[in-house]
C-alpha cells in the first residue's frame, strides 16, 4: 500500500473536493475509475493542472483507464512515485475552467459556471438531501452545494448560530489536503501520525 493511502487512512481523509468538483471536468468522474484510484489533487501553478493518483498494480481495467487518460488531449505526463507503488497522471485544465477553478479555491461552489454545474448534475443527479448528520448539521448533496436553497442556508445558520457571509452550504477546500505533494513531501507528515 502506498504511503499516501496509509496517510489517508490514518487521518480519516476522504476523497478530496478536487475529486468531487474538478475531476469531472476532464470527462471521467471518480465513479469511472477502478478500485485502484487513490485521489486527485490540484497543482497550483501558472497553468491549471490536476494530479490523478492510482495504486501501481497490474490490472487490465486500470491499464485501460490509464491509456484513456494518457490519450486525453490535455495529458501532460505520467510517472511513478513511492518506490513505484503509485502512478501519477498529470493533466491540464483548459483555460475555459479558470473561473470555476478559482471559485473552487474560494469555496464559492454556487457561483460555478452553468457548464460545470450541468456536468456535476449529470454525474450526481438532482438529489436534495434531507435530515441532519451526526453533528446536527443539515445534510447536503452535490445539488444542494451548487444550488443552495434559502431553507438550507437558513437551517445551517440556525445550527451554527451565525450568518454565512459567502452564502454557501459546504466549507471551502482545505488546501493542505487538495494540493498534490510527492511522497517525499508527505514522509514528514506520515512520521508525525505514525
d(CA 190, CA 8): 10
Other beta carbons less than 10 A from residue 49's beta carbon: 18
The shares of helix, strand and coil residues in the chain, as percent rounded to the nearest 5, are: 45, 15, 35
Has residue 77 been placed in a domain? yes
Model pTM? 0.86
Q: Which residue has the higher pLDDT, 173 or 14?
A: 173
Q: What is the pLDDT, as a whole number, of residue 190?
A: 65
- As given in the structure block, the three cell numbers for residue 121 are 448534475
Has residue 108 been placed in a domain? no
Q: Torsion angle, CA of 12/17/19/20, rounded to 10 degrees?
A: 110
| pLDDT tens-digit readout, 124-163 | 889 999 988 888 888 999 999 999 999 888 888 888 888 8
| pLDDT tens-digit readout, 47-58 | 789 999 999 988
Has residue 152 been placed in a domain? no
Mean pLDDT calculated for residue range 73-82: 86
Residue 18 belongs to domain spanning: 3-96+174-183
Has residue 138 been placed in a domain? no
Has residue 169 been placed in a domain? no
Domain count of the fold of the chain: 1
pLDDT at 12 over 90: no
Amino acid at each position: 500500500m502506498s504511503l499516501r493511502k496509509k496517510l489517508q487512512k490514518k487521518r480519516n481523509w476522504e476523497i478530496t473536493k478536487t475529486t468531487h468538483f474538478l475531476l469531472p471536468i476532464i470527462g471521467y468522474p471518480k465513479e469511472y475509475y477502478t478500485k485502484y484510484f487513490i485521489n486527485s489533487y490540484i497543482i497550483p501553478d501558472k497553468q491549471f493542472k490536476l494530479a490523478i493518483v492510482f495504486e501501481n498494480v497490474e490490472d487490465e481495467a486500470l491499464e485501460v483507464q490509464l491509456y484513456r487518460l494518457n490519450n486525453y488531449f490535455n495529458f501532460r505526463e505520467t510517472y511513478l512515485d513511492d518506490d513505484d507503488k503509485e502512478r501519477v497522471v498529470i493533466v491540464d485544465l483548459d483555460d475555459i475552467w479558470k473561473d470555476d477553478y478559482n471559485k473552487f479555491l474560494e469555496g464559492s461552489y454556487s457561483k460555478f459556471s452553468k457548464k460545470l454545474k450541468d456536468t456535476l448534475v449529470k454525474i450526481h443527479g438532482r438529489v436534495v438531501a434531507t435530515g441532519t448528520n451526526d453533528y446536527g448539521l443539515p445534510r447536503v448533496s452535490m445539488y444542494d452545494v451548487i444550488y443552495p436553497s434559502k431553507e438550507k442556508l437558513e437551517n445551517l445558520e440556525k445550527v451554527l448560530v451565525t450568518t454565512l457571509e459567502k452564502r454557501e452550504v459546504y466549507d471551502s477546500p482545505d488546501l493542505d489536503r487538495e494540493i498534490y505533494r510527492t511522497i517525499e513531501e508527505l514522509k514528514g507528515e506520515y512520521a508525525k501520525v505514525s
